[in-house]
Homo-oligomer: A and B are copies of this chain.
Amino acid sequence: MTVRFAVFASGSGTNLEALLDQEEAEGAYRVEAVVTDRPCAAEDRARRRGRPVHRTSFPDRLGPGARLLAALREHRVEGVLLAGFLRLVPAELCRAYRGRILNVHPAPLPAFGGRGMYGRRVHEAVLASGAKVSGPTVHHVVERYDEGRIMAQWPVPVLPEDTPETLAARVLAVEHVLFPEAAAALARAVAHREGPKPFRWPEPGPPSGPGLRAAVRAAFRGEAGLPGGTVRGQAARAVGTVP
Contact = CB atoms under 8 A, between A and B. Distances in A.
Interface string A181-213: 110110000000000111111111111111111
A160 B174 CA distance: 22
Contact of A216 (B132, B154, B209, B229): B154
B220 A203 contact: no
Interface in A161-186: 174, 177-178, 181-182, 184-185
Interface stretch (A33-41, A48-56, A145-153): A145-153
A70 interface: no
B181 A202 contact: no
B208 A242 contact: yes
Given A151-B130, A182-B220, A203 B233 contact: yes
A66 interface: no
A219 B216 CA distance: 25
A207 B242 CA distance: 9
Interface string A122-159: 00000001111101000100000000011111111111
Nearest to A130: B150
- One complex includes copies of this chain to the number of 2
A226 interface: yes
B177 A213 contact: yes
A167 to B, nearest CB: 13
Contacts of A129: 109-110, 149-150
A232 interface: yes
A204 B232 contact: yes
A181 B150 contact: no
A174 B232 CA distance: 23
A71 interface: no
A62 interface: no
A133 B213 CA distance: 19
B178 A216 contact: yes
A17 to B, nearest CB: 15
The 7 closest A-B pairs by CB, nearest first: A209-B236, A160-B198, A203-B229, A130-B150, A111-B111, A203-B233, A157-B201
